[in-house]
Amino acid sequence: MPALSGVLFSLAFPPVDAGYIAWFALIPLLLALRHRSPREAFGLGYLAGFVAFVLILSWMRLFGVVPWLLLAGYLAVYVGVFAALLRWLTGDRSARWTVLLAPLVWTGLEYLRSIGPLGFPWALLGVSQHADIPVLQLARLTGVYGISALLVAVNALLAASIMRPRTLMPWVVILGLVLVFIARSSIVRLPAAETGTVRVATLQPNVPPPLKFDPAAARNNLDVLRSLVDQAAAAPTDLVVMPETALPADIFGSSGLLPVVAGWARAARATLMATSLENGTSNIAVAVAPSGTAVARYDKVRLVAFAESGITPGFRHSPMWTPLGSIGVSICFESIFPEVSRDLVRAGAEMLLVTTNDAWSDGTAGPAQHARFAVIRAVEMGRWLVQASNSGVSQIIDPAGRVAASLPIGQPGALRGRVSLRHEVTPYVRWGDWVAQLMLAGIVLAAALLRREDLLAEFRSVAFRSAAAVSVLPLAAVAALLSIGAPWWTWTVALFALVAAFAAGRIRPLTSDRPIRWGLPAAAVAGSAVVAVLWGVVVIAYRANQVPLEVVVPTQVAVMLRQLLIAAALELWLRGQVFTSIARWKGVPVAIGVTTLMGMAVQAGLSAEAVAWAMVTGLAFGIIRARTGSALGLVVPHALGNLLIGFLTVVR
């Protein structure tokens, strides 16, 4: 049954895109959770999530099977935690509590997986309703998370009615009618259709990915863009928008294409939004006025982990001033994050643009899934949104989420339409993710009320206090030193000192309940093999997308010694003392999970690549620690992994 929920969940998104299935997709999972322990519930939820995300993210196989499965496995954790936390909170209570708590837990976790360096809000449940215009208007008030909460509430109501039909059916009917009334009434106002005053054209050149940055194809690519600009300017046009990194060379510099683009803008008598991969290191959009003057520039801020590890990010999400007004630009990956568009609108953006290049995933559901986010962003922000894509989907969307015009995937051309510059501030723009944050607060409150005795018993236990001491105190010390910019050796020395102090108090860093002979060399060999395999996956994924890698191997003894000391401090603490104390308190699986999360927390402020690496290696090292009983054997693999990630550069 959980796998059935995963299949149904995936059908609500492209390529099937049957959004109505989301209203009942979670019912099999919710029914399967009855009378299950939290640990069993986690397994069932993880299965449902893994099936769902393996199917939804099937386009990720273009990067290789291992990255695809790793990402699906990571996202499935949130569904597993949803199931486990829901069962822990509800316990043996009636199905009414499931109806009440399921939307809180699901929505709170959706919000958590959307933020931070590893935030990836792909396939949020609410996005499935992109075509249901009345329901979609709820996003103006609550953002996409409010729609997710509504869907989960209906799923929980239907599941509860199946479990307890006689008791709950009247409440199901009443609450269902209330939810439908809220979603389809004037409480969330549907903006009227309007005729725009700004004439806009988006260019869809449909350049194949292998030719996009090929010097031999540069002249032809430029000619394609010029012909599309001419096509757009055949009728009076105010704004012409290129897709992401459309120009085959730099815009600025002595040999840049700004004079060429300026000539196009003057000939079209339009503002031209030009894009390039400037100097191979900056993903930019530049507004060129009808006079031929470059008047504004935006550098992509939110980068794709690993895929853009060689790109220099911009500093902030700021709208671009143009002769037409203030325009907010999101580049590709940025459009899936609501806070990016919200920052732009709060800073004065009167319309939104998304420039993207999804051609590398043509033939899959990736471009269609990405295009759905633009609809949600338009409604949340109350703005017209224009999306220009290299190979599709290019589209023009009104503030109600209605697609006014679009170009299908693979069809070159210039998409024309009219948009309006708007100044309205929606409740979501004003208040942000208040619904999701309220859900998180509700989870904490529910835990305090429903599991108060259990929590107090845990807090009073010696095992908990021991685990908390070896976990919280060193983490707080490291965080404090990092926050003031202290050099690496200060927090490393602090960790060694705390490890020694706890060891003196009999929390030994290398002890294990199930030690094996030759544990240290076994851990060293297994850990090094994990690092080698993961690095091979990175190399294969990059080569599959024709991105060469250059690894600068350090030769200085000081650099290698530094990494060994850092690795020794972290491993003796995390896989040593923290792992031992938490395993004695809650078991090995919890110890693996907690030490992995703490290792990721230590990487706070570093790149998304570093945090992702810490997550995957942390899980693997935790398993190795459990099997071998050795933390010390993981020091060299940890240092080796740090060197590989730290000296990774991308050459385009």
235-247 pLDDT, tens digit per residue, is 999 999 999 999 9
Which range among 98-107, 164-173, 180-189, 346-355 shows the weakest confidence by mean pLDDT? Answer: 180-189
Residue 69 host element (H or E): helix 65-90
pLDDT at 541: 74
> Buried b vs exposed e over 539-569: b needs ≥16 C-beta within 10 Å?
eebbeeeebeeeeeeeeeeeeeebbbbbbbb
Cα of first residue to Cα of last residue in the chain, in angstroms, is: 46
What integer is the mean pLDDT of 40-57?
A: 97
Q: Give the CA radius of gyration of the chain.
A: 26
Judge whether residue 486 has pLDDT over 70. Answer: yes
Helix or strand (DSSP H, E) at 282: strand 282-288
User: What is the spatial distance between Cα 271 and Cα 401, in angstroms, rounded to a whole number?
Assistant: 25
620 pLDDT exceeds 60?
yes
Query: What is the model's pLDDT at position 293?
Result: 96
Banded pLDDT at 178 (limits 50, 70, 90): low
The answer to whether residue 327 scores a pLDDT higher than 80 is yes
Contact yes or no for 340/643 (Cβ under 8 A): no
Measured torsion, CA atoms of residues 421, 426, 432, 433, in degrees rounded to the nearest 10: -120
pLDDT for 93 equals 81
- Structure-token pair, residue 628: 């071998």
Residue 601 has phi, psi (to 5 degrees) of: -65, -35
pTM: 0.91
The predicted structure's pLDDT at residue 185: 59
Sheet with 385-389, side-by-side order of all strands: 320-322, 325-331, 351-356, 385-389, 394-397, 403-407
Closest C-alpha among 476, 609, 600 to residue 542: 609
Q: What b/e string do you get for 204-225 counting C-beta neighbours within 10 Å, with b at 16 or more?
A: bbbbebeebbeeebbeebbebb
C-alpha to C-alpha distance for 599 and 575, rounded to whole angstroms: 10
CA angle centred on 341, ends 336 and 346, rounded to 5°? 160
CA 547 to CA 551: how far, in whole Å?
13
Q: Is the pLDDT of residue 26 over 70?
A: yes
Angle between helices 557-571 and 488-504 (to 10 degrees): 40
The residue that leads in pLDDT, 634 or 604, is: 634
Q: pLDDT tens digit string along 266-314?
A: 999 999 999 999 998 999 999 999 999 999 999 999 998 887 877 899 9
**Predicted local confidence at residue 23, as pLDDT:** 95
| 158 contacts: CB under 8 Å, gap ≥ 6 | 24, 27, 172
What does the pLDDT read at residue 336?
Answer: 96
pLDDT at 562 over 70: yes
Vertex 543: Cα angle to 361 and 567 (nearest 5): 110
62 confidence band (pLDDT: 50, 70, 90): confident
How far, CA to CA in Å, does 247 sit from each of 93, 218, 219? 61, 8, 10
CB 425 within 8 A of CB 382: yes
Which one is predicted more confidently, 548 or 256? 256
Give every CB contact of residue 571 below 8 A, 6+ residues apart in sequence: 621, 631, 632, 634, 635, 638
Mean predicted confidence (pLDDT) in 589-601: 94
Say whether pLDDT at 169 is over 70.
no
Q: What is the pLDDT of residue 540?
A: 77
Instruction: Pull the structure tokens for residue 649.
Output: 């550069």
Position 539 pLDDT exceeds 90: no
Average pLDDT over residues 448-471: 90
296 SS3 class: strand
Does 35 have pLDDT greater than 60? Answer: yes
State the Cα–Cα distance between residues 618 and 597, nearest whole angstrom. Answer: 8
Report percent pLDDT > 90 for the chain: 68
- Rounded CA gap, 564 and 176, in Å? 59
121/337 Cα distance (integer angstroms): 7
Residue 376 near residue 126 (C-beta atoms within 8 A)? yes
pLDDT bin (cut points 50, 70, 90) of residue 650 is very low
Reported as a pLDDT band with limits 50, 70 and 90, residue 485 is confident
Average pLDDT over residues 181-205: 74
Q: What is the mean pLDDT of residues 355-374?
A: 91
Which structure tokens are listed for 370?
């990405």
pLDDT at 306: 80
pLDDT at 478 over 50: yes
pLDDT for the residue numbered 651:
39
* Predicted local distance difference test score (pLDDT) of residue 362: 77
How much is the average pLDDT of 342-357? Answer: 97
What pLDDT sits at residue 443?
96
Which positions ≥6 away from 7 have C-beta within 8 Å?
A: 51, 52, 55
- Helix, strand, or coil (residue 362): coil
Average pLDDT of the chain to the nearest whole number: 89
pLDDT of 643 reads: 86
Strand pairing class (394-397; 549-551): unpaired
Average the pLDDT over 583-597 and give the result: 93
Catalytic center residues: 244, 300, 332
pLDDT-above-70 percentage for the chain: 90
**For 434-451, what is the mean pLDDT?**
94
